[in-house]
Copies of this chain bind each other. A is one copy, B any other.
Amino acid sequence: MFKRYLLAPGPTPVPHEALLAMAAPVLHHRTPQFAEVFRKVAAGSKVLFGTRQPVLPLASSGTGAMEAAVTNTLSAGDRVLVVSGGKFGERWAEIARAHGLEAIEIAVEWGAAVDPGQVAEALRRHRGVRAVLMQHSETSTTALHPLEAIAALTRDTDVLLIVDGITSVGVIETRMDEVGIDVLVTGSQKAIMLPPGLALIALSDKAWAAADRSTLPRYYFDLAKARASFAEDSTAYTPAISFIVGLEAVYRLIEEQGGWPAVYRRHRILAEATRRGVEAMGLRLLAPSSPSPAATGVWVPEGVDGGALTKYLRDVMGVTVAGGQGKLKGKILRLGHIGYADTFDVIVGLSAVEMALRQFGTSVVLGRGPAAAQEILLQMYQPCGGE
């Protein structure tokens, strides 16, 4: 039988507990029954974000919440810094410019993490910067940016730190309030393990104050209105009901399986196993110095067409990994290990890539990738120790 394995950095597979919850008859959203589910989700989301602020659910994908982050806190003509080291960094700049902001891009080599010194320097050189916009995990390059070091630059200033946590929230511990993130955004199809269609967003007190001053036009993504409804266990417009129900199932499942600390530990192990595996296969990491625990990018070997390789993996072997985006198109593979991923997803991904590379005429030695990964994956079955 042709089975499909979804090993991309999102969407990730959805646990059957969540699928079944989402398939149950639809609740009406203006009922006490829904309000109860909503409250549980609200409480769970605060833990996930590490915040005492309301975490607002939006019926949109992550990009909608990214736009909401901009339109609710800034105004036309505002000057912002954008950490631009991949496709999603570029997206921040595009959103900012679409709304008449002046976006100054801090260029980072794709695959590298931004040097906080570059951000500090840009803040000094450019006067009147209102916000720094960045990814925590840049999904397109699988690099992890040094969020805390950058937050240290903005925390005690008037500059807002607006963070796309789409592939970091739920993967790495996020302490929004303590670190000093002003706007934090994530999406449902990543560590939250749901289909795409729900986004979460939270604002710091500093960001809510900025929202009062912001003059950009907004309606569907009006977060002040969302916050007012949130106080009544509801949303301003019709919520994505089945996603809220699914999210409650996910939070319960995670709680039953050791809570978020176990999830963060698992992502660390799966990511390290994947990196050791691809290195054992003789492949080079795209982001060796600051790799994301959400996904691992590797350079496709010389002479192999990365597009054809990902197509072969997907259509012939049933294994969906991500290729490169933008300037990396055709040059890399990205193996996701985010969300509903475990030991054997790593083994499947590595063994599939080995076999596919063999079919593409490279001299890969079968089994080296899985073997190196297995050594690390044994940690999945050890007690957590000091972690």
Query: Which of A352, A358, A370 has the largest count of B CB atoms less than 10 A from its CB?
Result: A370
Which chain B residues lie closer than 8 Å to A3 at the CB level?
340, 342, 344-345
Cβ of A146 within 8 Å of any chain B Cβ, yes or no, is no
A residues 312-341 in Cβ contact with B at 8 Å? 316-319, 339-341
| Chain B nearest CB, measured from A57 CB (Å) | 22
Contact A351 B347 (CB under 8 A): yes
Contact B378 A367 (CB under 8 A): no
Cβ of A377 within 8 Å of any chain B Cβ, yes or no, is yes
A1-13 to B contact mask, C-beta < 8 Å, 1/0: 1110100000000
| Chain B nearest CB, measured from A324 CB (Å) | 23
Q: Can you pick out 13 interface pairs between chain A and chain B where the beta carbons lie within 8 Å of each other?
A: A1-B253, A3-B342, A5-B344, A317-B343, A317-B381, A343-B355, A344-B344, A344-B351, A347-B348, A351-B370, A355-B378, A366-B375, A370-B370
Interface residues of A (CB under 8 A from B): 1-3, 5, 15, 193, 253, 257, 263, 266, 316-319, 339-345, 347-348, 351-352, 354-355, 358-359, 365-368, 370-372, 374-375, 377-378, 381
Apart from A3-B345, A344-B351, what are 17 other A-B pairs with CB-CB below 8 Å?
A: A1-B193, A1-B340, A1-B342, A3-B340, A317-B343, A318-B342, A344-B344, A344-B348, A351-B374, A355-B374, A355-B377, A358-B378, A366-B375, A367-B368, A367-B371, A370-B370, A371-B371
